Structures are given as C-alpha cells and as structure tokens.
Amino acid sequence: MYKLTILDECDSTQEELKKTLKDNEFLAIIAKRQFKGKGSYSREWISDPGGLYLSFNFPTIPLNLPASIIFSVIVAISLQEYVDHTLGKHLGIIYPNDLVVKLNGNYYKLGGILVEICGNNYVIGIGINVNNQVSNYQFEHKALSLNELSRIVNNKTYKFDVVDIAKNILDKVSLFYSSRIDIYQRLLELDFTHELKNVKILVFMDGEEVIDTFDNIKIDYNLKKIVLYKSRMRKDLEFEKVRRIFY
C-alpha cells in the first residue's frame, strides 16, 4: 500500500513527507540520518546513523483510541515479530507514545511516536533506536537500542536491517487500515504503563500543566479514562489530560 522513499539524509522525514503529500496517497519516507529530527513536545529527536527514522501518512478516519496509542501498539507488535522471542518479550509501550524496553525491572526508551495532522491525514513519525548507541546518553529517560538490548540479553552484537524493520511496520499499518489486525487484543499485554510505581506525571489540570508524583496509574481503554492513585486519593482524567509520564 505504501510507496516508500529512502533518503540518505534530511532535516526531518516529517517535513519531507508534508512537502510532497497529496490526498488519497500512501507515502512513507525513511532517512538514514536527520539533522533536525522532531520529537514530541517540540523537543529535538537526536537522529544519528543506525536509527530508524520513518514518517508515513494515514487518513484521519475516526479511531477508537488516541492515534499515538494505536500506532505505538502497531509498531510494538511489528518489532516483537521481527526480533527473536528472547528480545521480543522485553518490548512494550508506555502511554501516550513511547516504545520501551523492560529490563531487570527498569524501563528504557527504545523509541517514540510523533503524531501530527496535515489536511485530511495524520503524519506519523517513528523514531527507533536500532543499531545506534544510546545507553550512555543523558536524555530525559534512560534509553536503549535494539542492538544494545541484543548485546545484553543474547550476548551478541547483531546489526538489524533498518529498512526491513520499516517495511514490516508499514505492512502492519496496511493490515490495520483494512481491519485485519486487532490492536485491542494486544494492547493490554504490551502496555507497561500500569506497572509503573511512584511515577512522575505531567497532567493538565485546572487550566495548566503540572508535574505531580502518583503511586500508580491505570488506563481504562474501554471507558477511555485514566485513573491516578495517590495514597487514598483517586483522580479520574480524560486521556488527553495526561500529557507525559516520566519513568
């Protein structure tokens, strides 16, 4: 379904895609490196060679869950199928848009999903740490790449095929478009958010964004609400009120 373009470099695959996108087209762009990679919350996405930097469009059809969650699950499913079982069981997501590795009780950022809207399309950006080295970087989160995970878990340095990973993700997105993949069934097992304890969360309350610490967080995907617990207090919030989770 997708027409894929592979670039050696660009400022941002998001901007490249927006420049060329027309309605009723399915376009995807990957770049081997980006000079001005965009992260969520107007942050920079460090885009060294070896990572996967992919953007594609998807029509803004009504979705039952936030687009960031849907595409995070699709990418996590695709990665789990791509890597072997020993690595796959470490992969999951944290609300609202993080791909994570769970290792020895710690959570590391493997990648992230950026959702923008351009006319009648979502422009989805996927950044994944694949063969690049990120464990020594001081990001807001601890980070890990698939290559580093493989070294730790399987004791071997494996070079993953970034283009192949991108094609697998696009195949899964195409299956989702034609309703041949059940996101909800896999969502609960892939979502690590509910495991987090004593967690700092950026929430939008009383007209402003505040960071507060909560004992834990539960996401009710059926009732479409998030419940935050702190001592005996319980706070029910709509999805979009929980902006970021620090882990």
> Where do contacts with ligand BTN occur on this chain (CB under 6 A)?
12-14, 34, 37-40, 43, 45, 53-55, 97, 112-114, 125-127
For residues 30 and 77, which CB has a smaller minimum distance to ligand BTN in the complex? 30
Which is closer to ligand BTN, CB of 28 or CB of 219? 28
First to last CA, the chain: 36
Nearest to 200, CA basis, from 231, 235, 230: 230
What residue is closest to ligand BTN based on CB? 112
User: What is the nearest approach in angstroms of ligand BTN to the Cβ of residue 102?
Assistant: 17
> Between 97 and 131, whose beta carbon lies closer to ligand BTN?
97
CB nearer to ligand BTN: give 116 or 155: 116
CA 84 to chain centre: 20
Minimum distance from residue 60 beta carbon to ligand BTN (Å): 18
Which residue lies nearer to ligand BTN by CB, 54 or 219?
A: 54
Q: 68, 115 in Cβ contact below 8 A?
A: yes
User: What is the secondary structure of 124-151 as a DSSP string?
Assistant: EEEEE-SSS--TTS--SS-B--HHHHHH
CB 202 → ligand BTN: shortest distance, Å?
A: 13
In whole angstroms, how close is the CB of 232 to ligand BTN at the nearest point?
A: 33
**Among residues 92 and 125, whose Cβ is nearest to ligand BTN?**
125
In the complex, what is the shortest distance from the CB of residue 139 to ligand BTN, in angstroms, rounded to a whole number?
A: 10
Q: Order of strands, edge to edge, in the sheet holding 121-128? A: 3-10, 27-34, 52-59, 121-128, 106-118, 98-103, 91-94
The distance of closest approach from Cβ of residue 223 to ligand BTN in the complex, given in angstroms and rounded to an integer, is 26
- What string of DSSP letters covers 9-77? EES-HHHHHHHH--TT--EEEEEEEESS-B-GGG-B----TTSEEEEEEEE----SS-HHHHHHHHHHH
